[in-house]
Amino acid sequence: MGTRAETLVGDDVTLGFRHFYNGILMNVDHFNHVTILDRMGQPVHTIPASEIVQLDVGTYQVLAPGSVFTEAGYYSDVWSFVPSAGASTRNLKFQINVVTVYRSQDPNLPNALSCNIADLTSCMLKTRYLWPVWSVLQNGYYLADDVL
């Protein structure tokens, strides 16, 4: 089982999968689906194979709705696939450690994170990817938007 640590901000969460066979990165024959399990190990969402995107050889990703991750804690994503023609179905389970949950429409987000079109790029970084870092920056450290 692999582990990921995520800070969730916004509506979608990107989950990735890399398929290795005998130490070599290889494409899978086909996917069945990806299932998201809640903190109690119960299925809360299934992503169909049609939504799994191949990025490169043996490298795949899906977008899971952030709404299934309701609070901080451990969740899982289970990738169901057939590795090669004629092989049996494999189910690989990965652990997701959700450390912070903020929604893009959350009224509790600090005013410093309100965005305008002039600083859209730095704003997207702050609100969607750097929340733990940004909270430290607000407490005495400064990193200019052009650096971001």
Domain boundaries of the chain, sorted by first residue: 2-102, 109-148
H/E run at residue 122 = helix 120-124
> Per-residue b/e over 94-109, b at no fewer than 16 CB within 10 Å?
bebebeebbeeeeeeb
The single-letter code of the amino acid at 44 is: V
- pLDDT score, position 87: 93
Please tell me the class of the 2-102 domain: mainly beta
pLDDT digit string (tens) for the chain, length 148 residues: 444 545 554 567 888 888 888 888 899 999 999 999 998 999 999 999 999 999 889 989 888 888 888 887 889 999 999 999 999 999 999 988 776 665 555 555 544 445 554 555 666 666 555 555 555 555 555 556 555 5
Q: What angle do CA 72, 69, 55 make, to 5 degrees?
A: 115
- pLDDT score, position 120: 54
- pLDDT score, position 30: 95
H/E run at residue 97 = strand 90-102
pTM over 0.75, yes/no: no
